[in-house]
Amino acid sequence: MSLKDISTSVPKKDHKGKVSGQLPYISDVKVENMVYGVLVRSPIAYGKIKSIQLPTLPEGYEAVGAEHISGPNYVKIIQEDQPIFANEWVNYIGEPILMLVGKDLNTLYRLLDEVKIDFEEHQAVYTLDEAIQQKSATGITMASYEFGESLENISAIEQGAHQIIEEEYDTGYQEHVYLEPQGMLAIYREDEIVVQGSMQCLYYIKNALISALDCGADEVRVVQSPTGGGFGGKEEFPSMMACHVAVAAKAVKKSVMLVFDRSEDMVVTTKRHPAKLNYRTALDKEGNILSMCVDIYLDGGANAGLSQVVLQRALINSAGVYKIPHFHAKGYVLKTNTVPNGAFRGFGAPQSFAGIESHIGHLSKLGNFDPLEYKRKYLVKQGDPTITKGIFRDPILVEDMIEDLLTASQYKTKKAEFQHNNPQNLRYKKGIGTSLFLHGCGFTGSGERDHIKATVKLLKSKDDLVSLKISNSDMGQGIYTTLSKIVAKELDLPYERVLYPDPDTKEVPDSGPTVASRTTMIVGKLLERAAKKLKTQWQSGVEQEAVEHYVHREMIPWDEKTFTGDAYPAYSWGVNIVEVEVDTLTGNVKLEKVYGNYEVGKVIDERIMKGQIDGGLAQGLAYGYLEKMTSKEGRIQQKSISDYGPPTAMDVVSIDSKVFDNPYADGPYGAKGAGELTLIGGAPAVQAAIEDALQTSFQQIPITPEVIIESLWRKEGEGD
Amino acid sequence: MAEKITAYRFDCLEQTLSQLNKEDCAIIAGGTDVMVLHKSRRGVPPKILKSVVFIDHLSELKQVNQNQKDLHIGACCTYSELLEHALIPVALKNAIKSIAAPAIRNRGTLGGNICNASPAGDTLPLLYVYNAKLRLRSVNGERIVAINDFIQGPRRVQRDPNEIVTEIILPSVLEEDAHVVFEKVGNRNADAIAKVGFAGYIRINDARIEDVRFAFGAVGPTMVRSLNIEKKLVGKTLPLADSDIAEIVADFDKIIRPIDDQRSTAVYRKIVALNLLRYFLSLKQYQTK
């Protein structure tokens, strides 16, 4: 197959294996001399381990714990606060303390029940609200940043303002619900430990293993196995599981498999950070914004993990797509004794966009403006400064995208029609809402240059097949296909002659983690350059390779301390319009129409992009009204998919979407990031639509039927 | 290694009943509840402590037929089979469509839904307002019992170990021009466990109420139904006066006592249950069927 237009869809590289069900995932793998591992977990939220009493272990069964770790007892991520096996303090329910290993799972589960641990319990912090109250106490604030206009200036503006609006907004947990639960296998060999499993970031794991095993780089090897969905849930979390199986394999000199079932996965793995966002906005008589202050609190859970980076993205996006005069923001990650929160598609931005879109929408109602018209007044334009004193360098097409969507959705007609018809229908009320959003592509600031330093390699064999040697994971998002297409087109080769074997750190350089909507834009560009290089040197029948290293785009340097500079090299953009029907008797929300216009530079494969749009939007919409996870005294309450309630095919309607071309010079064929963008607009648009239907305001997501019924109940009470 | 279990799959009902008379077995129809109930953690087969007897294939339990104006439904008819059957009332089909998803509906049976006796059993509110009766058979003969007597509490039914529920009888369902409403409130549109279930049944003659019944699911240990409250409405004419509606709603307000759990709150369940009741009572017109 030759590629005329890069956007034209091709069959996905992994299509056959997945559709036929033949592709083995990690839980399907069995190797020689393999035992299973099960984790002894903390039953309490906060306390000190006094003693551990193990049952008599049958022959071939062993307990592995902190004493078996050769290196320091923490999972190498950013801070050194996450034990591999907790041996002194436990900080959340479910924290791993020991691993029992042996041949038979049934026996292991029985032994698990017989382990007795004595704790000295301490008073835990269970909720974000409790943590906010105690935020100056030692150990509660795990990270904080503050930036923007000085508070004295803002205070002066507020004094002259017509009114000051304060709003508090809450966002809940979100669970990734990747199709394949987490799983990791350590294969034991005399000279090396091979760790294989479901993952997004091979070198994060490799570095964590080198630290935990205190060994050389050539003594550990990380291989990605087919990965059934990640959504950020397989960014940092697998590093801990990899340490567990590798430490255990070393200790018992056998291969060790650790796989979670769905309920264990839901209860102990990272989630999207619950957040509280406070807005304080000064308005003039006409309802124009004079100044705005935003405070963001993220519930980090029990370990720092990646929370500080999540907070950075939340803050950078705290003004949404708007140019707000006199803007100030600060944010905190607070520790609670709950399951650690971590990376999740959007990485702090979904919380901020839900909050700012909600707040701006509410401000528009105060001034009797149409929400969309009000938002457009403040929309950033090319050349405008960002809130961190960077610049929006590239053309911004959002105005065109809005105009197009207004026509496609008949927004104005629908809005008037609903307002007219709603009073006549006592039970069902219809509404329409919009959201405007962006996503900064790639790592924050100079992360690519200073921390990641990506390298890619192309290897041409004697029979002129070209293999991609990079450390990025295809987790369903389609990079096996899209990155192969880029290389094939550049080399003018049929797509079938470009191969992308499952990454293995023994074979591939570190091209960075598969996160932050960076893969197509950053790694894709490096591959494009490597392919160009290989093409100029091409000699048929000869083994050849081409290597490329990351080159930084000229930007205003990012300073993490002052929180200034260009936070991202480029931005992708989106507009959503959502129509809903709300059942006022049950509070159930039915999606009626969903529209999305996106701008991601250039689409590398139309069908794959449509997959990102439909999947991301479904996940984003559900974040706004459907998916509900709660923690009660440190314990996650929803342990099954049906209790948590991600959308089914019966809940999502066909999504009407379009992608606008706006090629970006530093992306392959002009491509920017797309994976996270598609999630971000869902929740705010569905909230706006529900508010339109019920002619009321909400200060939280998800807006579940319980929230709606409570609001209607209160409203009815006021009417009496 | 997994322990061995004994499983029976007899050719006919007689043999099945005869075995049940000798041995207390776990009965599996579709298995969609039994397998979940006995599920083990990953990699370990379900632990069922008794011998298992399969009844899903028994043709004696898969018939649907009409007897006078009564409808007889074989206990092992799957939901999918009932959806296809011409005799099954529309309201029951609507209730069945709200259950799980096609894969489960291909296995799950109406008899199974009853014997599982979940407080949130999807078809139960409707079967209660149909005044459903169950035929139970054993080697000693058979008996017929009303569904509300049969279901005693969560996962507790009045079935002797040697008995099988063979059919569900919906009395007079094929005769009356009753209007029947079923509402399932779940957290999503498929594969959801009911947070509230409601069934309403009304038969009118010239705007005069001849018979009216209500049942609520997932708001108590078993379905909530009250003949005393229902009786108050018999003889009244439609549309009902606001004061009559308020009285009925207030009566149910007293006897509906839901709980908080991982799926919803007591407050929500109660408000929604009463909303659905009030809405049913306020309808100006009822369409039959």
Rounded mean pLDDT of chain A?
Answer: 97
Q: Any chain A CB within 8 A of the CB of B144?
A: no
pLDDT digits (tens, 9 = 90+) for A329-350: 999 999 999 999 999 999 999 9
Nearest-by-Cβ selection for B188 from A261, A637, A647: A647
pTM over 0.90: yes
First to last CA, chain A: 70
Residue A585 and residue B267: Cβ atoms within 8 Å? no
Q: Mark whether A252 and A394 lie in a shared domain.
A: no
As a whole number of angstroms, the distance between CA A434 and CA A593 comes to: 12
Res B1 pLDDT > 70? no
Do residues A503 and A510 lie in contact, with contact meaning Cβ atoms separated by under 8 Å? no
pLDDT at position B288? 45
User: Is A283 a member of any domain?
Assistant: no
pLDDT digits (tens, 9 = 90+) for A666-690: 999 999 999 999 999 999 999 999 9
Q: Mark whether A666 and A543 lie in a shared domain.
A: no
Confidence of residue B289 (pLDDT cuts 50, 70, 90): very low
Which tokens is A62 given? Answer: 């062993």
As a whole number of angstroms, the distance between CA A589 and CA A705 comes to: 7
pLDDT at position A445? 85
The dihedral through the CA atoms of B185, B186, B191, B193 has a sign that is negative
User: Is A424 a member of any domain?
Assistant: yes
As a whole number of angstroms, the distance between CA A546 and CA A533 comes to: 7
Which tokens is A636 given? Answer: 């996650």
Q: Mark whether A417 and A479 lie in a shared domain.
A: no
Report the percent of chain A where pLDDT is more than 70: 99
The domain limits of chain B are: 7-54, 59-170, 179-282
Chain A's closest residue to B265, CA to CA, is A706
Which residues in chain B have their CB less than 8 angstroms from residue A36's CB?
43
As a whole number of angstroms, the distance between CA A246 and CA B132 comes to: 59
Q: Any chain A CB within 8 A of the CB of B65?
A: no
**What's the CATH number where A612 sits?**
3.30.365.10
Where are any strands of DSSP class E within chain B? Answer: 7-8, 25-28, 51-54, 64-67, 70-74, 133-138, 141-146, 151-153, 156-157, 164-170, 179-185, 196-205, 208-217
pLDDT digits (tens, 9 = 90+) for A565-577: 999 999 999 999 9
pLDDT at position B286? 66
Residue A109 and residue B264: Cβ atoms within 8 Å? no
pLDDT at position A2? 65
Taking only residues 87 to 106 of chain B, the set having a beta carbon closer than 8 angstroms to any beta carbon of chain A reads 101
Provide the CATH number for the domain formed by B179-282 in this structure: 3.30.390.50
User: Cβ neighbours of residue A454 under 8 Å, at least 6 residues apart?
Assistant: A448, A510, A511, A512, A522, A523, A526, A549, A550
Res A591 pLDDT > 60? yes
Q: Which of B259, B262, B265, B274 is the best substitution to test chain A (most A C-beta atoms within 10 A)?
A: B262
Q: Any chain B CB within 8 A of the CB of A710?
A: yes
User: Is A465 a member of any domain?
Assistant: yes
**What's the CATH number where A236 sits?**
3.90.1170.50
Res A118 pLDDT > 90? yes
Residue A260 and residue B276: Cβ atoms within 8 Å? no
Q: Mark whether A216 and A92 lie in a shared domain.
A: yes
Do residues A175 and A19 lie in contact, with contact meaning Cβ atoms separated by under 8 Å? no
As a whole number of angstroms, the distance between CA A58 and CA B4 comes to: 22
pLDDT digits (tens, 9 = 90+) for A124-166: 999 999 999 999 999 999 999 999 999 999 999 999 999 999 9
Q: Mark whether A454 and A436 lie in a shared domain.
A: no
| Domain range B59-170, CATH architecture | 2-Layer Sandwich (3.30)
Report the percent of chain B where pLDDT is more than 90: 94
Rounded mean pLDDT of chain B?
Answer: 95
Q: Any chain A CB within 8 A of the CB of B1?
A: yes
What is the rounded average pLDDT of the residues A640-662? 97
Q: Where a domain ends, among A227, A250, A268?
A: A268
Res B128 pLDDT > 60? yes
Nearest-by-Cβ selection for B279 from A585, A588, A626: A585
If one counts every other C-beta atom within 10 angstroms of the C-beta of residue A368, the result is 8
The dihedral through the CA atoms of B172, B174, B180, B181 has a sign that is positive
Domain extent at residue A56: 31-121+182-268
Q: Mark whether A625 and A502 lie in a shared domain.
A: no
pLDDT digits (tens, 9 = 90+) for B233-278: 999 999 999 999 999 999 999 999 999 999 999 999 999 999 999 9
Q: Mark whether A505 and A600 lie in a shared domain.
A: no
SS (H, E, C) B128-166: HHCCCEEEEEECCEEEEEEHHHHEEECCEECCCCCCEEE
Q: How far is A122 from chain B (nearest CA, A)?
A: 26
What totals of helices (H) and strands (E) does chain B contain, helices first?
11, 13
Residue A710 and residue B268: Cβ atoms within 8 Å? yes
pLDDT digits (tens, 9 = 90+) for B231-242: 999 999 999 999
Do residues B196 and B219 lie in contact, with contact meaning Cβ atoms separated by under 8 Å? yes
Residue A106 and residue B44: Cβ atoms within 8 Å? yes
For residue B279, give the amino acid letter. Y
User: Is A319 a member of any domain?
Assistant: no
Residue A650 and residue B262: Cβ atoms within 8 Å? no
Q: How far is A588 from chain B (nearest CA, A)?
A: 8
Q: Mark whether A545 and A656 lie in a shared domain.
A: no
Q: Where a domain ends, among A503, A521, A549?
A: A549
**3-class SS of residue A301:** strand
Chain B's closest residue to A27, CA to CA, is B43
Q: What is the DSSP letter of A449?
A: I
Q: How many CB pairs under 8 A join A and B?
A: 82
B83 CB-side CA count, 13 A: 17
Taking only residues 98 to 157 of chain A, the set having a beta carbon closer than 8 angstroms to any beta carbon of chain B reads 104-106, 109
Confidence of residue A504 (pLDDT cuts 50, 70, 90): very high
Q: Mark whether A408 and A512 lie in a shared domain.
A: no
ipTM of the prediction: 0.96
A327-335 and A289-301 strand pairing: parallel
pLDDT at position B3? 72
As a whole number of angstroms, the distance between CA A348 and CA A679 comes to: 12
Q: Any chain B CB within 8 A of the CB of A713?
A: yes
Chain A's closest residue to B40, CA to CA, is A106
Residue indicated by tokens 């000190």: A48
Confidence of residue B284 (pLDDT cuts 50, 70, 90): confident
Q: Any chain B CB within 8 A of the CB of A637?
A: yes
pLDDT digits (tens, 9 = 90+) for A216-246: 999 999 999 999 999 999 999 999 999 999 9
User: Is A328 a member of any domain?
Assistant: no
Do residues A175 and A32 lie in contact, with contact meaning Cβ atoms separated by under 8 Å? no
Do residues A670 and A663 lie in contact, with contact meaning Cβ atoms separated by under 8 Å? yes
Q: Mark whether A458 and A436 lie in a shared domain.
A: no
Q: Mark whether A384 and A434 lie in a shared domain.
A: yes
Residue A705 and residue B2: Cβ atoms within 8 Å? no
Q: Where a domain ends, among A253, A268, A283?
A: A268
User: Is A430 a member of any domain?
Assistant: yes
Into how many domains does chain A fold? 3
Q: Omega before A395 cis (within 30°)?
A: no
Confidence of residue B176 (pLDDT cuts 50, 70, 90): low
Q: Mark whether A491 and A375 lie in a shared domain.
A: no
Q: Omega before A702 cis (within 30°)?
A: yes
User: Is A674 a member of any domain?
Assistant: yes
As a whole number of angstroms, the distance between CA A298 and CA A333 comes to: 5
